[in-house]
Amino acid sequence: MAVTKKGKAAADKRVPQKDNVYENMQESQEVPMSNHLDEVIAAVSDTAKKRIPNKLLQTALFQPPREKLHLCEEKAKSHLSNGEYKQAIQELVRCVALTRICYGSSHWKLAEAFVNLAQGYLQLKGMSLQAKQHAEKAKEILASSMENPYHDNTDVFKCSIELFYTTGKAMLALQKFKEAAENLLKAERLSKEMLQRGNMIKEEWVEIQARIKLSFAQVYQGQKRLKEALPYYQKALEYTETIKDENSFECVPVLRELAGVEQALGFHDAAVNHFSRAHLIVLSKNPSPEEAADSAHFIARAAVASGRHEHYGENRPSLSYTSGLGVCHWWVKGVNSSFESTGTCFQLSLLSELFPARATMILKESLEAKVGAFGDFSPEVAETYRFLGRADLAQGNHSGAHMKLKKCVQIETFLYGSQDKRTLATQQTIDTLSKFSEVAMKPRQSPKTKAAFCTSVPQNTMPGKAKHSVAD
């Protein structure tokens, strides 16, 4: 009994010791666990701050659909104005989905969203078919929405104008000129009717007319009806200047297209003036050297096409606005592309007069960069060899021209084949140059040379003396 009590007492003494050890272990574990949790919370908080830099994005997930729709529309406009068309299309696709959620599948707002998406696809090259399909979808929705009570809504008719205009642009890009003209005519008539009824202000009508007139001009130009296209380009320029400004950058593409038609019709003075005006607008917008050079290229080609010396000085002031690789390269390109089309020697003399050595040096410097960027067998490298060859030809370096043009034709044969018109044109230049070189290098035989190669015995050979051979 005593032993039992002693054992019990010993056990009772051991229990609190065991509990103390457990508590001590628990306390020792709580300290690092607490520190670890604090670190995790701090890290998550930092990550959240990095991922959500402002309150706008923080609340974006909890925004109602209409607020999200407005945000996507603003983003799409921003991307379009910055030329970020792929990003803009992503936002426009979201707009279509959000519009369907907000307004349903038969509301004219959904048709408007599809029209905006179609216009976004028109900004991307090669996406005209997608634009046409989205415009057709918008037309189906708009036709069904006309049956609803809001068919007198002005916004519906404005959406219809944009639908006809966008469909016309898509058909124009697909070279379906008849369908393009039909849709553009519908847009023009509807806008005029809305203006007359007072449902559209004059400034809005002028903005629509500027786009419609420009598209009509492009339709006529696509049909090779340049005389009919010219007044539409002139009217488009007039409307663009009215809604924007005479020095607005929006005038530049209209001026260039107008000048292109004038040049094709033989109105070279007007073409050079319009190209020069577009160039001055570009220079006033602080362009990059490449943009300024590209703009100068248009004047160079127009000046060469005119065939008149007084036009060449108009581009020379622009040289002070740009650096090395820009204007000189594009002057050479403009001159030589015109030489290729006309085949006269006048352009070659102009090239040697303007940039005898500078153009060649710049082209040589750009060749290595183009090889690194595009590869040895690329159109850019072939083009540079062609320009180098013709620059050498302009300076009388026929051997250098022959060597560079031969490299050019090798690349063109690899890229396009031996029967392509570009390859054949370069090969024809090489053949002509080879014939010219053969004639120039062919030695004229003197009477003494002819006598040396004569096999008959000379008349003054004395009998009994040895005859000297040609080898001697």
Q: What amino acid is encoded at 8 in this protein?
A: K
- The domain that holds 126 is classified in CATH as 1.25.40.10
Examine residue 25 and state whether it is found in any structural domain, yes or no: no
Residues 291, 389 within the same domain: no
Query: Looking at the predicted structure, is the pLDDT value of residue 25 above 80?
Result: no
Examine residue 84 and state whether it is found in any structural domain, yes or no: yes
Residues 310, 369 within the same domain: no
Q: Are 200 and 194 in contact (CB under 8 A)?
A: yes
Residues 138, 205 within the same domain: no
45 — pLDDT class (breaks 50, 70, 90): low
- From 286, 314, 342, give the residue that closes a domain: 314
Of the chain, the percentage scoring pLDDT greater than 70 comes to 65
Residues 229, 131 within the same domain: no
Examine residue 48 and state whether it is found in any structural domain, yes or no: no
Measuring CA to CA, which residue among 275, 280, 277 is closest to residue 263?
Answer: 275
Residues 297, 398 within the same domain: no
Q: What is the pLDDT of residue 396?
A: 77
Residues 138, 234 within the same domain: no
Rounded-to-integer distance, Cα 50 and Cα 52, Å:
6
What secondary structure letter does DSSP report for 63? -
Rounded-to-integer distance, Cα 420 and Cα 411, Å:
12
User: Mapping DSSP to helix (H, G, I), strand (E, B) and coil, where does residue 73 land?
Assistant: helix
Examine residue 5 and state whether it is found in any structural domain, yes or no: no
Q: What is the pLDDT of residue 363?
A: 64
Q: Tell me: the pLDDT tens digits for 151-204?
A: 567 889 999 999 999 999 999 999 999 999 999 999 999 999 999 999 999 999
Q: What is the pLDDT of residue 233?
A: 96
Q: What amino acid is encoded at 430 in this protein?
A: I
User: Mapping DSSP to helix (H, G, I), strand (E, B) and coil, where does residue 195 land?
Assistant: helix
Examine residue 7 and state whether it is found in any structural domain, yes or no: no
Q: Of 131-135, 140-144, 429-433, which range is least confident? A: 429-433
296 — pLDDT class (breaks 50, 70, 90): confident
CA 323 vs. chain centroid, Å, equals 22
Q: Tell me: the pLDDT tens digits for 352-378?
A: 444 445 556 656 766 777 787 788 888
Q: What is the pLDDT of residue 442?
A: 57
Residues 266, 371 within the same domain: no
Rounded-to-integer distance, Cα 59 and Cα 27, Å:
41
**Longest CA pairwise span in the chain (Å):** 167
Structure token digits, residue 20: 């103390």
How many other C-beta atoms are found inside a 10 Å radius of the C-beta of residue 213? 23
Residues 205, 267 within the same domain: yes
Q: Tell me: the pLDDT tens digits for 411-430?
A: 999 988 989 888 998 898 88
Examine residue 224 and state whether it is found in any structural domain, yes or no: yes
Q: Are 351 and 335 in contact (CB under 8 A)?
A: yes
Rg (CA), the chain: 39
Q: For 234-245, what is the mean pLDDT? A: 93
Examine residue 44 and state whether it is found in any structural domain, yes or no: no
Examine residue 347 and state whether it is found in any structural domain, yes or no: no
**What domain count does the chain have?**
3
Q: For 277-291, what is the mean pLDDT? A: 86
Q: Of 108-112, 113-117, 401-405, which range is least confident? A: 401-405
Residues 88, 127 within the same domain: yes
Q: Are 396 and 371 in contact (CB under 8 A)?
A: no
Q: Which domain holds residue 210?
A: 201-314
CA 101 vs. chain centroid, Å, equals 35
Q: What is the pLDDT of residue 260?
A: 93
Q: For 274-301, what is the mean pLDDT? A: 84
Residues 167, 207 within the same domain: no
Rounded-to-integer distance, Cα 463 and Cα 472, Å:
19
Structure token digits, residue 67: 């607020």
Residues 168, 206 within the same domain: no
Q: Are 141 and 110 in contact (CB under 8 A)?
A: yes
Number of H helices, E strands in the chain: 20, 0
Rounded-to-integer distance, Cα 174 and Cα 455, Å:
75
Q: What is the pLDDT of residue 72?
A: 93
